[in-house]
Amino acid sequence: MFVIKDERAKDFTFKYMVNVLVDNSKTRGAPVIVESNPTFYNLIGRVEYETQLGVLTTDFTKIKAGALHRANGGYLILQCSDVLTNILTWNALKRALKTEKITIENIAEHIGTIATSSLKPEPIPLDVKIILIGSYLEHQILYNYDEDYRKLFKIRADFDVEMERTQSHMFKLAQFISDHCQKEKLRHFTKMAVARIVEYSSRLADSQEKLSTRFNELVEIIYEADTWAELAGADLVTEEYVVKAIKEKIFRANKYERKLQEMIEKGVILIDTQEKVVGQVNGLAVLDLGEYSFGKPSRITVNTYMGQRGIINIEREAKMSGRIHDKGVLILSGYLGEKFGRKCPLSFSASICFEQLYDGVDGDSASSTELYGLLSSLSGIPIKQYIAVTGSVNQKGQVQPIGGVNQKIEGFFQVCKAKGLNGKQGVMIPYQNVANLMLDDEVIEAVKDGKFHIYAVKAIEEGIEILTGVPAGTPDAEGNYPEGTVFYKVQKRLEEIYRCLKKEDKKEGNIISEVDAVE
């Protein structure tokens, strides 16, 4: 026979004891609680049990507080993703906010599977402010699919990923670096090292006028630069170690970029950086691998011939083109119609293709590139292959800004460097993207030395003159272009195709209409 001695049962004062759930006697101001693991019990509290001879027993001293109890009268900070991974937690949080009470429940009773006889603490009045930290996507999902979310969380604070690059903000960034070094016992940074961190921050923001607020990425560079300084036995972190940290971070992530560069150098991927070719342009794309993105040159070819099919996007026909890219190609017809379709209908066929592309394409940043190739093919004037092109275009011929301009320029520069810099190579970008230039030091030095060039253009007319060395041409009152210009040759070629098609159509006894002449 076994006898269990329960000291609490013998102590007659036990039932007069006090179970302190939350003690804020030493808290100054309203409590601010950050709950890193907001499970059902961690949020609303729980009643614990102990086993005696296989029987679960409990008493009022086993009642434990949750995050809502500790934050009552103050603020509770939660990560939205952590709350949403447990549907019981989300429902319990909403119920507490709607009833303004904290009710400690057992999960089994809560979901209605088991009804057990146990302690049922009295609900506690709740007065708390909940701060949910989450992504834009999480906010949109809850806002659109949970009506309670709109009622309970009415104040939205959307934090930007960048800030203005002012003297005040740069000084605060320097303070952040210093404070972090003191807190984590790291080596302090020199002035030039801090300046390099500021430049890296602008690079992350893709703007000369902005600083990135993605401080976690800056902290990674701070830690790594400190490590390189430690390995070198330095007392301070200088610019040298910051640059090394940035380059080493890139090296760990740019495996696929190195593979593509190697294939271009060996001629597996065909990229010409020396000659002039009709109907062929080097376009620029960005491959995004998540943590790392880089520029990749792509050869774009255009063939024009007699017919009435208009512009054929080979990627679209092969179902490898996204909607934005399709839109960019269709805009080309609008531009050509305004420039050359006022005197006679546009009657021609053209095929546009991204060569050696097998995984699809999207975006309109190559639309100006495709238009240059189209004008070259129609005019018969060759395009300089040593100038790569990026930029969107509208129906009026205005070149529009694009993203990833730094990666695109650096990608083509590396190709030119591998094939041999000849002093004529460069990249043509939209004028608006000048403010986004935060280039690698090697590219900047090459531009300073005249070995590489960056052209900023506002309109197609400027771009075609740079690529061909021939004036674009301005129409007279009757819409005719001067001889010897690019647009003159394009206009004459289109008129020639139209006359040939009209003559051929008359032979067959048909009449060509303007509607049939333009796709």
Read out DSSP for 77-112? EEEHHHHHT-HHHHHHHHHHHHHTEE----HHHHTT
In this predicted structure, what is the pLDDT of residue 117? 57
Dump pLDDT digits (tens) for 234-274. Answer: 999 999 999 999 999 999 999 999 999 999 988 899 899 98
Residue 510 in this model has a pLDDT that exceeds 80: no
Rg of the Cα trace of the chain?
34
Dump pLDDT digits (tens) for 447-464. Answer: 999 999 999 999 999 999
Q: Which long-range contacts (CB under 8 A, 24 or more apart) does 219-224 make?
A: 219/180, 220/249, 221/197, 221/245, 221/246, 221/249, 222/177, 222/180, 222/181, 222/186, 222/189, 222/197, 223/184, 223/186, 224/248, 224/249
Structure tokens at 427: 């990249």
Structure tokens at 260: 């593509």
**Across the chain, how many H-helices and E-strands are there?**
21, 22
Largest alpha-carbon pair distance within the chain?
A: 118
Our measurement of the distance from residue 279's CA atom to the centroid of its chain's CA atoms, rounded to an integer in Å, reads: 32
> Which CATH number is associated with domain 19-152?
3.40.50.300
Domain 162-253 has CATH 1.10.8.60: yes
How would you label 321-337 residue by residue, b for 16+ Cβ within 10 Å and e otherwise? beeebeebbbbbbebbe
What confidence tier does 516 reach under pLDDT thresholds 50, 70, 90?
Answer: very low
Q: Which residues pair with 133 in a beta bridge?
A: 79
Start and end residues for every CATH 1.10.8.60 domain found in the chain: 162-253
Start and end residues for every CATH 3.40.50.300 domain found in the chain: 19-152
Which H or E run includes 261?
helix 255-265
For residues 505 and 497, what is the distance between their CA atoms, to the nearest angstrom? 12
Dump pLDDT digits (tens) for 78-136. Answer: 999 999 888 788 988 999 999 999 888 877 666 655 555 567 788 889 999 999 999 99
Domain 271-470 has CATH 3.30.230.10: yes
Dump pLDDT digits (tens) for 7-56. Answer: 555 566 766 777 788 888 888 889 999 998 998 888 988 877 777 677 66
What sign does the dihedral 284-286-455-424 (CA atoms) show?
negative
Task: Specify the pTM.
Answer: 0.82
